[in-house]
Structure 1
């Protein structure tokens, strides 16, 4: 049933949002150039890797040595706007159609984080990742990594159709209000390093 809902909603959403996504594509091409779609390998169900799609939000600016500048320096005003309203994530509807992810599930993080998870945290990979999830509607980037993982594990242990519908409805409200969004979110490895050095 969940897969059917994923297919129906993502297909309808892509048809409805296609003109809007076309405008975003033109703006990204104009302001940032190619590629328009940014793709990055992420862990899916049982940790199997797949490529997650997003609209590009950063430039390719480099320092004097030819190395990419830090993310916060490459994030453009257009990219900030897209991230604020989660518009950069619209291409992930294609990931849903492909079966890589679901509409609802723990957010797919970076492959390099997998060895850092505790056994309990790693259980978030027992279900397909999602565009939105229980952690996203209960704090998103305004809560700690530990709290996010606790919420992800809670979802894995309590998932149901009713809960997914509730999360989808709350997500719409969160996006409209732009609640709990911090563009300069610290990565998980950074948090681990900070804790390990006291």
Structure 2
């Protein structure tokens, strides 16, 4: 029987211990700031404080993701939601630029829904649109930050994001997670990659282009 590698140990249970060791103290440390910000959101967002949305986790199993509410529910005369850019409040824009709207996800980490590092949890409607390779991003817990986030975040294409996600899945390790967390802090301080070109956040994933079949001879 071959001995387990350090990577196997970390994948099996070391990563979970790492998450708990960091997420608990971080949540306690930021709690006063979180509560103060939530009070501001009560005023600026007309009582809307927490954003809750069902997202697919490991193996595609749905869980409830928590974030600070950065958008209002402003609608046009026909009752349709306004574009993202029009619904982002000034406070919400700042929270997104600093990624502080993600802090409630530390609770998701403590619950075991998320890891600190992993592919970002996307929308449930994307699940049937993935290729077999892209779907491998669900072989690990999703994360608050990830390899795609420190390599462009919303400023890169969907295919690039998925390539980075699968690259991470194949190389999970403590060293890589520490590297990603360090790069995340640097990226957040510089507010890089928050949006896609011409978008307030990012465009929706609509699936993969059809495979081009060469004409028969």
What band does the TM-score fall into relative to the shorter chain? over 0.9
Deviation at 1:35, TM superposition (A): 3.0
Distance 2:191 2:124 in 1: 27
Alignment-derived partner of residue 162 in structure 1: 175
Deviation at 1:33, TM superposition (A): 2.1
Over 3 Å off, 4+ runs: none
Alignment-derived partner of residue 85 in structure 2: 72
What does 1:36-185 correspond to in 2, within 5 Å? 36-182=49-195, 183-185=200-202
After superposition, the C-alpha distances for 1:141-191 in whole angstroms (9 at most, x for unaligned) are: 1111100000000000111111111111111111111112213311112xx
TM-score of the two chains, using structure 2 as the length reference: 0.85
Which runs of 5 or more residues in structure 1 are unaligned?
none
Distance 2:42 2:152 in 1: 32
Alignment-derived partner of residue 186 in structure 1: 203
User: 2:67·2:104 contact (CA, 8 Å) conserved in 1?
Assistant: yes
The structure where helix makes up a greater share of residues is 1
Aligned residues: 193
Distance 1:170 1:58 in 2: 27
Larger radius of gyration: 2
After superposition, the C-alpha distances for 1:62-105 in whole angstroms (9 at most, x for unaligned) are: 11122222222211111111100101111000000000010000
**SS of the residue 1:42 aligns to:** strand
Distance 1:65 1:142 in 2: 32
TM-score of the two chains, using structure 1 as the length reference: 0.93
Indicate the RMSD between aligned Cα atoms, in angstroms. Answer: 1.3
Distance 1:160 1:56 in 2: 32
